[in-house]
Amino acid sequence: MSTSSVSRGCFVFKPSAKRRKTVGNEDHFRRGCEDKHGCALRYRLCQQLWDRILRDTESLQDELNKNILDGLLDFARRRSGGREPGDWDAQMRASEIPTAALLLGVNVPDHDVTLQSLSELLRRSVGPYVASLQAKECGSLKHLVKRVLERITGGVVEEEEEEEEADASQIQTGAQCSISNLCQWYRGKVKKSTGPNPPVVVILKDLEAFNPKVLQEFVLICSRYVQDLPLVFVFGIATSPSTIQNMLPHSVSSLLCIELFHSLSCTQHLSTVIDRFVLTPSFPFKLNGKVMQVLISIFLYHDFSVRNFMKGVQLALLEHFHSQPLSVLCCEKDVALDIVGHLQAKDLERIRALPSFKRHVEARKEEEQAELLTDDACLKEECRKLIRSLHGYHENYFPVLRCLHALTSSLPRYPLGKQIRELHLICLENTVWESEDYGTAMKLLRMLSKDELGAGVQRCVEILEQETNKTMRKALEGLQELMSKMKGLDLSDMEPPAQEPEVGLTSPVRNLGKKTDLFQLQKTLLQMNETRRSKRLSPFEILRNQTVDFIETLVKSHLSPPETQPLHEALYYGSSATVRRHLNATPRTSIQAALSNPYFYLQNEHLRAEDGGVSNRAPDICVAYKLHLECGRLINLFDWLEAYSTVASAGEGADPEAEDFGRVDEVRHARFIRAVSELEFLGFVKSTKQKTDHVARLTWGGC
């Protein structure tokens, strides 16, 4: 079942007698898990976490958009709800259309979710007449008006046949008639209803992508019917409000009564998402530092899309459960403790092979090492202890992380980062208290005033008050005690006590007029430095040092990297290369790999080749690509054609001794031209004016 060319054509393959076996979704999780129950369990746990991500993401999106959606809803009600046609706000002229300019930001992939929520909310709360449009479906005025009528009326609008050479006035007349039909349809609906007249809302999702001329004509036409049809526009803008003035002249924009609405910043949205899904012990699946860095880098340097960030988290989740057999332990603590009792012998051997567990065993006594490596029951009991310890580590890690961020996020130059995600990355990748930036932050904390330090400690107290475990409750008591001592200090405690002047110590400033040598000056400065070090501290300075020491104790106790925790591999996903390859793909590399190794894509045994070569039975484009790699900057088309014809003849099984072997006929010529055209389309070669019978090579090297 193969063809001799990738050229366009129709090929018929008769189905085999054997019926293909249907494969369930859970069978794709068989990697490293031979029993069907194990892969089904991994699939079920992955599906549960996947559904939780989708559900929580939607609820979070509604929470974040609540203010702006409520504002837009109130705008639609104020401008048109409960009024008779022609009865408008006194501040508006009769021809003005109320318009909400919704500034959504440059994170275009997230706009659909926000505008979809807005459409549903308007239909439920204001009225059913809502039309949501995109620029790609409104290339002309006729198409724009047609889409509006279809979305408002819920039916199909038949297009009137018009000549291709119709002038602008004819198109405009036809559009006016269509809007008048909408007015007639609306009057019929309003007469049947007894409540207030609902508005007709037109949402333009991507305003920048609309044709300015089409948009101008549409606004002009709608302004003529605004007294009979309660229109409301909603413009989705990705850049700035000046877009409206840039697209519409003053004569048209003056017909719009514009009110601005600002959506939540995409960086603030990302911080909220990370806080909900990453910086929480309630979500068992975790990302290591490298994977987090890849996802955040794609967000900051590519699209600013929180939606794509969550897709990256979902991809990592799927890859983790697919590639790691011990991901059956990536679930809630009670469920994981129950699963440990049902682990099979091969699963226990995988636990023994984990690097983190090996380090844990090496730190135990010799007799305990032997039990853990040979006794399965002892290993299961030890795994339960380690799972409790791992979940306890997360319950302590995140509150202490928030406390450290609350204290250091306002320091000058932000030594540990301004955003909590930056501090989280530092703690994931390194031992934070061994870094130079951490030392700088602690020095700055020891220089804070009473008000600044008190505000930071108060934020830490509020963070720990939300925790229920014993370790954090004990830390809370310590901070509350320090806070009460700090409130009890008065102004006299802020100043250091007066020092008695030391005998024999003279200030170098007083002796500037006297003759002295360099050695004597250095000695005097050292004595002054020692005096400063040995001076008595004020009560506030002592309390400030105690507070910083207490915070440092919490950090060193609970902010160690996850790699130090045994069995962390079951919860943490760390293949950043896989995530980068899927989310930040390199098309050229993939295309070159496919052209150089067609067997791995087509799975045809005849295409197997050794030493990096390409089989003479490979598709035409693969043969042409391989031959073009052997040429220089300019490729002679005739020589290239002859070489291709020779390879094609060998692939067809022709006798090398025959006279017509390698001869160029019409079929081979046509196939070669098509292969070269495909390579030109892919960007490997281009025509050149230097020589008419040559093409220029645009790439160098292969895969």
DSSP letter string over 316-372? HHHHHHHH-GGGGG-S-HHHHHHHHTT--HHHHHHHHH-HHHHHHHHTS-HHHHHHH
* Residue 260, beta-bridge partner list: 101
Helix (H, G, I), strand (E, B) or coil at 522: helix
Spans in the chain with pLDDT lower than 50? 1, 4-7, 22-23, 32, 81-92, 161-177, 500-509, 512, 702-703
Q: Is residue 428 part of a domain?
A: yes
Q: Is residue 463 part of a domain?
A: yes
502 DSSP 8-state letter: P
Residue 295 and residue 436 share a domain: yes
Q: Are strands 97-103 and 200-204 parallel, antiparallel or unpaired?
A: unpaired
CA–CA dist 29, 509 (Å, integer): 79
What order of strands is seen across the sheet that includes strand 685-687?
Answer: 634-636, 694-697, 685-687
Residue 628 and residue 558 share a domain: no
Q: What is the pLDDT of residue 249?
A: 95
Q: What is the pLDDT of residue 691?
A: 82
Handedness of CA 13, 15, 17, 23 (dihedral sign): positive
CA–CA dist 360, 346 (Å, integer): 20
Q: What is the pLDDT of residue 26?
A: 61
Domain end marker among 212, 229, 263: 263
- Residue 528 tokens, joined: 């002054």
* Residue 410, beta-bridge partner list: none
Domain count, the chain: 3
CATH number at residue 106: 3.40.50.300
Nearest to 584 by CA among 576, 572, 574: 576
Residue 464 and residue 403 share a domain: yes
Q: Is residue 373 part of a domain?
A: yes
Residue 276 and residue 255 share a domain: no
CA–CA dist 624, 603 (Å, integer): 20
Residue 297 and residue 335 share a domain: yes
* Residue 235, beta-bridge partner list: 101, 204
Q: Which residue has the tokens 């007449």?
A: 129
Residue 671 and residue 637 share a domain: yes
Domain end marker among 263, 285, 312: 263
Contact 136, 169 (CB under 8 A): no
pTM given for the model: 0.78
Q: Is residue 11 part of a domain?
A: no
Q: Is residue 32 part of a domain?
A: no
Residue 242 and residue 123 share a domain: yes
307-318 confidence digits (pLDDT tens): 999 999 999 999
- Residue 297 tokens, joined: 């880098």
Strands (E) in 152-297, as ranges, are: 200-204, 231-237, 256-262, 286-287
CA–CA dist 667, 652 (Å, integer): 13
Nearest to 139 by CA among 210, 237, 233: 210
Domain end marker among 263, 285, 311: 263
Q: Which residue has the tokens 């290369």?
A: 577
Q: What is the pLDDT of residue 9?
A: 58
User: DSSP secondary structure string, 123-173?
Assistant: HHHT-S-EEEE-GGG-SSHHHHHHHHHHHHHSSPPPPPP--TT--HHHHHH
CATH number at residue 596: 1.10.10
φ, ψ of residue 627 in degrees (nearest 5): -70, -35
Contact 325, 351 (CB under 8 A): no
Residue 248 and residue 136 share a domain: yes
Element housing 635 (H / E) = strand 634-636
Residues 6+ apart with CB under 8 A from 218: 141, 144, 145, 175
Q: Is residue 562 part of a domain?
A: yes
CA–CA dist 197, 623 (Å, integer): 69
Residue 595 and residue 450 share a domain: no
Q: What is the pLDDT of residue 494?
A: 63
Residue 214 and residue 276 share a domain: no
Q: Which domain holds residue 598?
A: 587-697
